[in-house]
Structure 1
Amino acid sequence: MRQNYTEQQKLDILKRCQNGESILLISKETNISRSTIYRWLSASLKKKSPDQHSKEPTYKDIRKLEHRVQHLEGMFEVIELSGCTSASSLKDRLNALEKLYGRYNTYILCEALKVPRGTFYNHILRNKREKAWYYEHRKILKAEIQRVYHETGQIYGSDKITAILKEQGIKTPEDTVRLLMKELGLKSIRQQAKALYEKEKKGFCQDKLKQNFYADKPNQIWVSDVTYFKTKSSAFSICVIMDLYSRMIVAYKIGTRNNTRLIKGTFKLAYESRKPADGLLFHSDRGSNYRAAAFTDYLKTLNVEQSFSRAHVPYDNSVVESFFANFKREELYRRKYRSDYEFRQCVNEYILFYNMERPHSSNNYKTPLAKELEYKNKIKKS
């Protein structure tokens, strides 16, 4: 038979439940069944107002609201900066949005002025060839992306680089950063870290040179490295390949990004100009570009043996390190380059000077060119 309880008893029980006391303990102390207490709690919740009974928002709900607020704020900014409304002519709206392209997400741009995205993309693709500002904007943004990428140790992807650029006052959508990083060949080294680690565990990165920086003839051992240098307007990666016999720079390449394409392109220049016989040893540090499958597989097709410096031992590639040190002291640090063209020209001139005019102590103070000519004459006589 159901026992009758006073309203005060019910209120006391409910209060204890709301204070977090265990329903099991309350039931034992009061001899009121748990099912009865649960029934009272259920009835109490039903009596609450809709606002009190509403579900507590989750973290996901809060994030969705934050994104929606950011989206609306972006739309308001677009409307304010464009000087147009959805009632303006389509031509005026397209021209206004074109000026903001790259600064805001395309979805926000089109939604703010009610322009179909397909129409906007067609307008951009049709006009961008004639818009010098479009290329200038992309050029500046690429330089900033590359700067952040190198300053942060090449470990950040598009999301973090976008956030850093935003903190520095450069507002651009992550999709744009991702696209430009792809064009620049920039990838977070985190993506290849495990694969490269597994290769090292299997003995892939062996030091076969062992600081023996001397060769008996040209095209027997080549060494390589990349240096990074920033001018007032741009950032460059310079890859060089040196022949250990004469210390001649047999190939070099200047790129706007340090990637596998730069390394492979430089090696291809050296290989096609020198045409070395089988058995060439190619030594470098353990940079991810030199260990990438696209490059190592390419060397295998040419029967080129690969060697790597030990981890954290710069002396294993000290010959090229020494070249870059001299290169910077004698050329790069001494000039203020007024343009990218001037920078490239000066690098070209220095390499020619180094190969043809600059005496080298390891060559008994002969130039690299003189050392190679001496070897060729020796071969002819024999």
Structure 2
Amino acid sequence: MSKLTKQDKIHIFEEWTLEDKRGTYLSKKYGVNIANINYLVSLIKMHGLSILDKPYAHYSKEFKEQAIKRVLLGNEAINAVALDLGLASRGMLGNWIRSCKENGYNVVIKKKGRRTHEQEKAERIRAAQARKRQAASPEFKAYCRKRIYKKLDALVQKKKEPTKTEIAKAITELRHELGLAVKKIIEIINTNEDLPHISRSNYYDAYTRDDKDQVNHGDVIARIQEIYDEIKNRYVAPGYRRITHILHREGYQINRKTVNRLMRKMDLYGYVMKRRHPYSSYQGDIKGRIKPDLIKRKFFALRPNMKWYTDITEFNLKGKKLYLSPIIDGCGRDTVAYNISRHPNLKQVMSMLNDAFKTNQALNGLIFHTDRGWQYQHKAYQHELAIRGIEQSMSRKGCSPDDGLMEGFFGILKREMFYGQENKYDSLDELEQAIRKYINDYNTERTKDKLKELTPIEYRNKSLTA
């Protein structure tokens, strides 16, 4: 990030926090790796903009040793330690650790000025001797054995038996980390019966063989990573289906099974939703206000404004509650109208209806389906539907599958922008803004298999012109 000026860094931080610009956009705009963008934003959030005025610092041997020990012995993450120490770059600590390992786990402070050829030669000889002494020490041999066992044991713990390519990749990483020869690493592995064995010839065959996926799908792999990072930064990790839709819209000809396989190979996985207890507005049945179920779980509609669905869901943020009441069309699953309120009262539902009726005039014959919440049994609500020729439909008592379309929508929404991310929102106002942005993106950007890989709005518009 040295090529960025102080003003560039301030602009990146402002665009990230105030304008909600993320990963891929800022990376392309400023020509900086996404990981460096994330580190810069986290650094300023932790230490403030004054950290950018910090002059070039010369770090002592003791300072570097303490930082390295926190990573190697304290098992702290490199980025977390670098941020805590206020290092200007996330790569500085990684370079210190690499240099420490190359010098026999000793921190070497280089003297200023250029060295003569004789000094460089003597330094190389001293470093080689130090590595030999280190390799011969019982402590280092024990560390190497422990590290090799741990690395290979992680492969064994997976459900499937590790392939020769995975074993060769692990050995290559151990070579660079420990500085040992392939022969020595394989000997240590093969002495343990619980680890997957491999011969030297098999290792070199797998090591030198071209990765077919990189050859055939190199550009797709890079794009998958970009899409995954971009969506994950905004909401949660997307699954292979959603990424496949985006690739298809961008012109890539690739099967979703191939995308699934590549994502697994890249260790990219979608978020799995946990079941939560839904909000219920049911307070009993009012005689004469209960309507029959006209939908009978046949949620799909051939054209827009044939079937509408609504319900209320609750967001509990640090003990404070927010309520969302949307209307979903059964044709394209688009959100026709919605209302967000601090209280689940009749005013919220009536405001939602007014917004929907403003943009949708001819609704005679529309079926409007809900559960048996008290708002939907209210005289004022039922009157507004009746005067427009709308038929009201209600699910059976205590039968949530009858309201499955709304349950599914709420599940997707909370899974992608709320569950597990509550700490992102400092107030109900921030949460409300995030919900509004998500609903807009859901309507105009999020594609679905059932909608032929179109967004809800695209499918609605196509149905209206068909």
Q: Tell me the TM-score normalised to structure 2 length.
A: 0.38
Structure with more of its chain in helix, by fraction: 1
From the CA coordinates, give the structure whose radius of gyration is larger.
1
